[in-house]
Amino acid sequence: MREYVQGQRIRVRTNLETEFPIRRVEYTLVHQDAPGERITVPADVTSPPDGGKVEVILNGEVPQGQAPGEYRLESVRAYPADAGEPMEAITEEIRNEAEFRIVLRADKPPRASGWEYDPE
């Protein structure tokens, strides 16, 4: 399972299947032991659907103070370009795939490497 620490970037590529233009999506992940703890990663969609699919790049950050533990995708909200009401777009396939763990610090400590005299 992918691990993140507070303040670390979350960057994910995913797809949205749609027949009409979408302007924005929001992916919300929920803590498995504390449902009140959530992380929402939004993304603006700038390209029209190509063959019924839109590639979405999620780019967010784990907030400082976010509770450690396992998070699983709960919701994918798609906002149509015509400013209509948002629609739920989650599938069981992605719900079972999208999960990560927030830890207080990484299990792997930093390690120094490389040494070069008189670098050019």
| Amino acid in the structure at residue 43 | A
| 116, part of any domain | no
Instruction: Record the tokens describing residue 49, joined without a space.
Output: 């659907």
CATH classification at residue 53: 2.60.40.10
Beta-sheet pairing, 53-61 with 87-88: unpaired
| 120, part of any domain | no
Instruction: Record the tokens describing residue 41, joined without a space.
Output: 């990663």
Which tens digit of pLDDT belongs to each residue from 12-59? 999 999 888 899 999 999 999 998 999 999 999 887 788 888 889 999
| 19, part of any domain | yes
Q: Is the model's pTM score more than 0.95? A: no
| 113, part of any domain | no
| 55, part of any domain | yes
Q: 3-class SS at 11? A: strand
Q: Which domain holds residue 42?
A: 2-103
**Looking at the 3D structure of the chain, how many domains does it have?**
1
CB hemisphere CA count around 64 (13 angstroms): 0
